[in-house]
Structure 1
């Protein structure tokens, strides 16, 4: 039994999830790969552990909380399962959205198109996960045999590895792109070429603005033109075509035929949004690389190039020769991360291609794979017993449901949104790990383990968040005055001198960031409302932090913890509202839901009881983070 608990502890440790969580970004690769507790391998982590307070897990207060968890969590599941049963009056309205499932006697809610596209293609994706690394090994075997001379030094061996991996990724990426997008691959490669020419051919001072304008215009054009099908273009060039009963000219018929070769995923413009982030990454990494002196920064700092910290891998530019067309295309089309990410910067990608990260071990990868499988199984069971997505899609009469059922349908709808994003991201990261690339883990915590809006967005789609910080937030002046290249001159505006001014600039930057995030997800008013609501709901947290600084409450830690718990309950409710608007119900659906919850005394009483339960959950969240601090881990989320 002890060995089982130790195995489960290792399986669900932060180190298994991503070594970036248990070591600082500036820690060397050897430190990050060390499996010992952070406090035992890092002086910074040890100082964090010494500053943590004593645990509360065995106090009378927390034994009361345990009673809440033992009774309330099963009740939450029972409430939402009852609302999904076929004897519910609403069942007939959404039953057509359910699909045959593999659990005996249960149908499956596979009505979410985004998750269904992943779920229905799991066998093919697993085949790719196995075949792609095997093909690389076969290619490496034949490449080594065909080499005319052996490498004379370790540096030459690493250069040969970079060349070998880039060649394979370039070739495999083109084949992969053609298979999934068909003839639309030519449209994508055309966009690639324009973006590359902007970085390489324009005067250096024009590169940033030209890169952003081109890519944002491409984002809008892809959406508004629906991926540029050829048939409408041919019809515009063929006067008289398109009349009733007319099959069109030969040109129109030919264009229609070509549009039919759309590959396995004809809607390439939907997936291109992630690729667009890599387009910007390449151009901006190349632009910033020109600020560095000709001498190698790695040699200047006397760093071990095979054991760079993550921060150095991202910030230190690749050598000038690496910014070529082949490596550019190989990076953009890197198959494990092409469809959905996680997102790796160009500098990091080149560094990992040359030097395999020490954080990748067989044990970690196997444990990560087991954890992915258990998460997938959890999602499958939820979709067989909880039909929250199908119910929300059927626009039911919400008054039929009890306040408890309404709140639980909304709550589990958000969990399904979290899982439908988490599972593909983890699968593609697992594929990359098997292939020898270590991208960031996109989800830090379970959706139910968040109470701060700032921390929530740092831990949700984490690689995208880090991309935003590097390429948008810091150049705008966030994080201490903008991006600082080697010459030491910040490219962003200087930070305001006053604390209030800094907070206001932070909010403005937050608004700009979330406007971009909303438009990047979809050109939709509902998502714009989501982005602005997120920014609006951050304000109370900022103001509360200014009004109740932790230093003033250092002599009353328990009172401060309770006060923070009350504020965090409000934060959680606001975050749920913002996400329900953006990703589930929209404004109209949310209005109906809130009216049903607050339209009676019973509903208001239930809402108050929910706040009490959330307060209990928040206190446990606080203690989980304190436990991480005692281990020397400070995730800040």
Structure 2
């Protein structure tokens, strides 16, 4: 396990610093500490290895099925390194080559380019999401600094020190300090949430608070047995209504009462309609509040179901039985142990649902986790780790900027190109680079807002476990892509539906229905579009071959032929990668028609088939390296399960 202690951060040169910078522990301690084990400051696996002669590592690795022998220095892998040296630069060159001004199709997409900061290069900021993030990044960086400073000022005004009982026992004093910290944080979060909503959305704050109030009333006002169904119906309806009604414009609401205006009416507009237009004109910095409200919907469901499960459930027995330290709970306990009934107040609910660092994009934490971390600061938050995390964010930002200055794949896609004028290699590499840009444009906001949350004292999960190019399993890919959403789906949909099992025909049918339910919700949650529904169903369809292969070719039957089994798994991995690329191109890049053009371009002549064989060979080599990366982690006692 990578070091979490500040003591090790002081020594070593630049290479040592880079190793610490890219430790999994730096990214998120959840990757290196089991979810059921409380995190310990300085709990360094590398140190324990020195103390115990590596016994802990070998036991952990053996238990997880790790191969004790590394393959990094074998002749087989030296061949793979050679393939990497040839393939990776070639992939970047193909996308760069068709992005140059000398390309005959350059004039078709040049209008989507903007002036860049690298001399002699334009930049492709045609993607609306990244363009918005990039444009607002300086203001958000100031807010990242201002928000924690404002909290310190709030804390100075509202003292949290225990009032008079200075002779209280240590445990009782600690409890009083925790309660005082909790009152400080939640009161500030509530006050700042209202201010934040007004600045972001103007008068639309009324609409948002109305939705929150109705959802709160469902949780606390209905008979307990109706709460889950009512919660799901209401929040799914909100996803549709927010989209179909365009955020409930005040003018539209006014017209509902006055009736539609005649086309020839110009001056005699009813006062109520004019008032609605005036309210709409003050929509804050983000007039279209409904675009990102789907993230808030997840928190509304989390609050209601956490409250539902807390009713008639006592935590005291579990806490005493396990002898848990409330000041340092494991992440699993923070999520599963219900908050006290007195904490399910409207103030705490609003502070959680509109918690500023995570409001716009997440990552997502449950209400129970938010309450626990508000009361006790997580031991995983250390200044040295937060600084390194900030540096990693800046490096990713630099990578994104460099890619957009040299590979104009977004602009090319937006110009509706004639794919028949591109070679199969060009079509494939443009699509492949497009997926990487999608990954980066999601990674950057998630990392920035998680960094803000860490600075503020709340540790949410890291959303991206691995690079998009470091995945070979469809099932594992969804454990590591938008990780906090995956965990939310597990807790609130997948497990309540009974999970999955493919041991019998009946179980298999039920499991497929479960997957379809989960991914239908995922698709609708992203956006109400046909291509996203197709994407969600394709993902489920692509799960099935991998699940079937795991039953037809179980590892235990190949224990005497590990190399043959590794090669067999790698062939399956190549098929999985091709299917995942296809599904994500349909959902987030070129759509179904674009994918059909790409496939027809590859199979229309002999050169396309040659390229497909070469691509599959390169993927085979890459997946072998992915296997060994995971084996190296297992040998260190780390099992990320993706």
TM-score (norm 2): 0.93
Q: Does 1:68 align with 2:83?
A: yes
Residue 47 of structure 1: aligned partner? 59
Q: Does 1:139 align with 2:154?
A: yes
Q: Map of 1:466-545 to 2, 5 A cutoff?
A: 466-478=487-499, 498-545=503-550
Q: Does 1:34 align with 2:54?
A: no
> Contact 1:39–1:46 at 8 Å: present in 2 too?
no
User: Per-residue deviation at 1:46?
Assistant: 5.1
Residue 114 of structure 2: aligned partner? 99
Match of 2:413 among 389, 392, 396: 392
> Contact 2:161–2:180 at 8 Å: present in 1 too?
no
Q: Distance in 2 between matches of 1:263 and 1:389?
A: 29
| Residue aligned with 1:144, SS | coil
Q: Does 1:227 align with 2:237?
A: no
Q: Distance in 2 between matches of 1:506 and 1:334?
A: 35
Q: CA deviation digits over 1:124-154, x for unaligned, max 9?
A: 1000100001111111122128985476511
Q: Distance in 2 between matches of 1:356 and 1:339?
A: 23
Q: Does 1:126 align with 2:141?
A: yes
Q: Distance in 1 between matches of 2:208 and 2:178?
A: 31
Residue 578 of structure 1: aligned partner? 583
> Contact 2:162–2:180 at 8 Å: present in 1 too?
no
User: Per-residue deviation at 1:302?
Assistant: 1.7
> Contact 2:57–2:635 at 8 Å: present in 1 too?
no
Q: Distance in 2 between matches of 1:240 and 1:442?
A: 46
Match of 2:324 among 303, 319, 323: 303
User: Per-residue deviation at 1:444?
Assistant: 0.1
Match of 1:163 among 174, 177, 183: 183
Q: Does 1:203 align with 2:218?
A: no
> Contact 2:373–2:458 at 8 Å: present in 1 too?
yes
Q: Does 1:362 align with 2:383?
A: yes
Q: CA deviation digits over 1:582-624, x for unaligned, max 9?
A: 0000111111121112111101110110000000000000000
Query: Which moves more between the two structures, 4-13 or 270-279?
Result: 4-13
> Contact 2:160–2:180 at 8 Å: present in 1 too?
no
User: Per-residue deviation at 1:331?
Assistant: 0.4
Q: CA deviation digits over 1:254-290, x for unaligned, max 9?
A: 2111111111011111111000000000000010011
Q: CA deviation digits over 1:451-499, x for unaligned, max 9?
A: 00000000000000000000000000016xxxxxxxxxxxxxxx78x35
Match of 2:626 among 621, 624, 627: 621
Q: 1:612 to 1:2 in 2, by over 3 A?
A: farther
Residue 6 of structure 2: aligned partner? none
> Contact 1:23–1:38 at 8 Å: present in 2 too?
no
User: Per-residue deviation at 1:500?
Assistant: 4.9
> Contact 1:45–1:633 at 8 Å: present in 2 too?
no
> Contact 1:49–1:630 at 8 Å: present in 2 too?
yes
Q: Map of 1:298-447 to 2, 5 A cutoff?
A: 298-447=319-468
> Contact 2:334–2:372 at 8 Å: present in 1 too?
yes
User: Per-residue deviation at 1:47?
Assistant: 2.5
User: Per-residue deviation at 1:7?
Assistant: 1.2
User: Per-residue deviation at 1:354?
Assistant: 0.6
Residue 23 of structure 1: aligned partner? 33
Q: 1:354 to 1:301 in 2, by over 3 A?
A: same
Q: 1:8 to 1:547 in 2, by over 3 A?
A: same
Q: Distance in 1 between matches of 2:151 and 2:289?
A: 26
Q: Distance in 1 between matches of 2:57 and 2:75?
A: 30
Q: 1:294 to 1:354 in 2, by over 3 A?
A: closer
Cα RMSD over matched residues? 1.9
Q: CA deviation digits over 1:161-182, x for unaligned, max 9?
A: 0000001111011100110011
Q: Distance in 2 between matches of 1:34 and 1:505?
A: 42
Q: Distance in 1 between matches of 2:48 and 2:604?
A: 52
Q: What is the number of residues matched between the two proteins?
A: 620
Q: 1:82 to 1:43 in 2, by over 3 A?
A: same
Residue 5 of structure 2: aligned partner? none
> Contact 2:574–2:620 at 8 Å: present in 1 too?
yes
> Contact 1:38–1:46 at 8 Å: present in 2 too?
no
User: Per-residue deviation at 1:8?
Assistant: 1.0
User: Per-residue deviation at 1:43?
Assistant: 8.8
User: Per-residue deviation at 1:105?
Assistant: 1.1
User: Per-residue deviation at 1:308?
Assistant: 0.5
> Contact 2:361–2:445 at 8 Å: present in 1 too?
yes
| Residue aligned with 1:287, SS | helix
Where does structure 1 lack aligned partners over 5 or more consecutive residues? 480-494
Q: 1:13 to 1:501 in 2, by over 3 A?
A: farther
Q: Distance in 2 between matches of 1:544 and 1:146?
A: 60
